[in-house]
Amino acid sequence: MVRAGGTLSGWVDSCPHAGWPLAMADRYLTREKDLILCAGHGALFRLEDGVCVAGPCAGRALEPWPVRIRDGGVETA
Ligand code: FES
């Protein structure tokens, strides 16, 4: 789950390159916090749509995971 600005998005924690979990040690974002980083081989994904913009799976995308804000809290499946 990523909250950026006023938007919230959720993604399955699996890289489309090799299916590995995205993070090691719970770090999911780049240092600038503007992209999702896969620790496996360095793929970078846009926060807003999960599309890979650099790395070995460029052009593919993370699988969405349903999340929403309800009554001030975050709900997920
Ligand atoms: S497993 Fe994510 S870039 Fe290779």
CA dihedral 17, 66, 37, 21 (to 10 degrees): -50
Give the count of beta carbons closer than 10 Å to the beta carbon of residue 62: 24
pTM over 0.85: yes
**pLDDT digits 0-9 by tens, 6-53:** 788 999 999 999 999 999 888 999 999 999 999 999 999 999 999 999
Mutational test site, ligand 1, from 15, 24, 30, max ligand atoms within 8 Å of CB: 15
- Residues sharing a CB contact under 8 Å with residue 21, sequence separation 6 or more, in sequence order: 13, 14, 15
How big is the chain, counted in residues? Answer: 77
CATH fold label, 1-77: Rieske Iron-sulfur Protein (2.102.10)
**Residues paired with residue 73 on neighbouring β-strands, in sequence order:** 70
